[in-house]
Amino acid sequence: MNEFLASAMSFLAQLFDGSMGWAILVLALAVRLALLPLTLHLSRKMLANQQKIKALEPQVTAIRERLAAHPQEMFKAISVLYKENGAHLLDRSSLLGGLLQLPVFALLYQAISKASSGAGSFLWIRSLAAPDVLLTGLVLLLTAVSAWYFPSANGTAVWMVAVQVLVTAFVMWKLASGVGLYWAASAFVGALQALVLRIGQRRLAAHAVA
């Protein structure tokens, strides 16, 4: 697989007059967009499960108050309630889908890291082997947009967005710009996915009101 990705980047670089930057960007976008239908499906399942859990909160609270002195019975009653309504505290299908994507991203990350080590400049970036402040800022902006617009049953808190941005900044500040391009492409598709989900959620809400 590593050899295939290396060959793909070499081929793309030739198409772009030897530019490894464009090769990395195009390959990263292609992989993320190819996985977009799967990630959208998993995200929709996760959001639907969150909505079910939120709708059951009054009943869960009543069970906790009624069986506060009997923890085992309380847990069993809540589990039965979730099962009857098709809700899951842990969405196993979404978790499994996410785990299945990890090897793809890990292999892509390794291939891009290797390709970046000997790459030159790209656009405003002086060296794809070194960090770039402007690229880091772009990734942080896209991460914030993705986190802010991603729909949630409980709404998106400012502190949650801030945590995601801070974690991304901590990881990004020493990364080679070649890997940063991969991260930017991934963050762009993530923001696109969040907007698609948000628009879909608003349409469903509008139909429900109508």
Tens-digit pLDDT profile for residues 178-188 = 888 888 988 88
DSSP state of 154: T
- Report, as an integer, the average pLDDT of 195-200: 81
Q: Which residue has the higher pLDDT, 44 or 141?
A: 141
pTM listed for this prediction? 0.75
Q: Is 182 in contact with 121 (CB distance < 8 Å)?
A: no
Q: Is 111 exposed, middle or buried (0-12, 13-18, 19+ CB in 10 A)?
A: buried
Say whether pLDDT at 139 is over 80: yes
Are 1 and 107 within 8 A, CB to CB?
Answer: yes
Per residue in 31-56, pLDDT (tens digit) is 888 888 888 888 888 888 888 888 88
DSSP strands (E only) in 118-210: none
What is the rounded CA–CA span in Å between residue 97 and residue 131?
Answer: 31
Estimate the crossing angle of helix 2-15 against helix 20-55, to 10 degrees. Answer: 120
| Alpha-carbon span 109 to 12, nearest angstrom | 17
Q: Take residue 79 and report the two structure tokens written for it.
A: 């589990």
Rounded alpha-carbon distances, angstroms, from residue 138 to 79, 186, 201: 44, 12, 27
C-alpha span between 4 and 106 (Å, rounded): 14
Number of domains in the chain: 1
8 Å CB contact between 175 and 135: no
pLDDT, tens digit (0-9, with 9 covering 90-100), for 74-111: 888 988 888 888 888 776 666 766 676 677 777 777 77
Range of the domain at 152: 2-209
Residues 6 or more apart whose CB falls under 8 angstroms from that of 8 comprise 27
